[in-house]
């Protein structure tokens, strides 16, 4: 029997009475936990994605990471943008959700696989001779009543392509730094891509998608 619990189920009416887009944030999290019914509970396991509501007084620091007070920042925005916890634990703050991927082509999959398998900060949930899937639990791992928090994924495809997936800029920075430490000498430079972000219009309550911001290339100054 699993030691973890499932998130409480609330109907839409109860949910609407508890959530105010001008008084807090939606927080997106992913948890991994062993599957007690599986032959090898430690491998594939179960992945639970959930949303929670974090109430926030206007005088408190905004959860987007801007350093401003909430009332002077996201509370004034017409769009309700979700956040996710940063690597290192819930006490390390939050970041705006900006789903993104870093893809490395033409790598030596056998070498990379061996190094990823040896790193204690990564948990392998699926592996065969041509592919693999690892979850980044953080350092140290963060565990709560729902499972172990997941801060990013690394997937090996056909022993030639490596894909890093993360829900925020900071998470991707941590993943890239981790991969550079493990296999920076054999993976080369990644191709970056950003997915749309699902946000809620505060005035209408309707969901819409916005493109997450991409890093702007640095401009070179001309020598005079």
- The enclosing domain of 162 has a CATH number of 3.30.310
Residues 186-217 have pLDDT tens digits of: 999 999 999 999 899 999 888 888 876 554 44
DSSP output for the chain: --S--PPPP--HHHHHHH--TTSEEEEEEEEEE--TTSSSTTSS-EEEEEEEEEE--TTSBPTTSSSSBGGGTGGG-SEE--EEEPTT-GGG-EEE---EEEEEES--HHHHHHHHHH-TTEEEEEEETTEEEEEE-TTTT-EETTEEEP--EEEEETTTEEEEEESSHHHHHHHHHHHHHHHHHHH-PPEEEE-EEEEEETTT--EEEEEPP-PPPPPPPPP-
Indicate the pTM of the whole model. Answer: 0.87
Question: Does residue 3 lie within any of the structural domains?
Answer: no
Predicted pLDDT at 213: 56
The larger pLDDT score, comparing residue 224 to residue 64, is at 64
Question: Does residue 131 lie within any of the structural domains?
Answer: yes
Residues 155-189 have pLDDT tens digits of: 999 999 999 999 999 999 999 999 999 999 999 99
pLDDT at 12 over 70: no
The answer on 203 and 145 residing in a single domain is no
| Residue 137 structural domain | 100-194
Q: Round the average pLDDT of the chain to a whole number and report it.
A: 87
């Amino acid at each position: 029997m699993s030691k973890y619990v499932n998130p409480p189920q609330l109907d839409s009416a109860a949910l609407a009475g508890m959530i105010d887009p001008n008084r807090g944030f939606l927080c997106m999290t992913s948890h991994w936990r062993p599957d007690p019914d599986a032959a090898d509970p430690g491998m594939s396991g179960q992945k639970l994605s959930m949303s929670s509501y974090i109430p926030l007084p206007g005088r408190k620091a905004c959860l987007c990471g801007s350093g401003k007070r909430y009332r002077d920042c996201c509370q004034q925005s017409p769009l309700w943008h979700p956040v996710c916890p940063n690597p290192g634990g819930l006490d390390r703050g939050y970041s705006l959700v900006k789903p993104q991927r870093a893809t490395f082509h033409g790598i030596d999959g056998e070498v990379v696989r061996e190094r990823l398998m040896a790193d204690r900060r990564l948990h392998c949930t699926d592996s065969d001779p041509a592919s693999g899937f690892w979850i980044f639990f953080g350092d140290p791992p963060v565990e709560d009543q729902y499972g172990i928090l997941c801060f990013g994924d690394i997937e090996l495809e056909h022993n030639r392509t490596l894909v890093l997936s993360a829900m925020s800029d900071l998470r991707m920075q941590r993943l890239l730094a981790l991969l550079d430490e493990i296999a920076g000498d054999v993976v080369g430079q990644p191709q970056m891509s950003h997915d749309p972000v699902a946000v809620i219009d505060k005035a209408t309550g309707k969901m819409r998608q916005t493109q997450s911001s991409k890093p702007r290339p640095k401009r070179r100054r001309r020598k005079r």
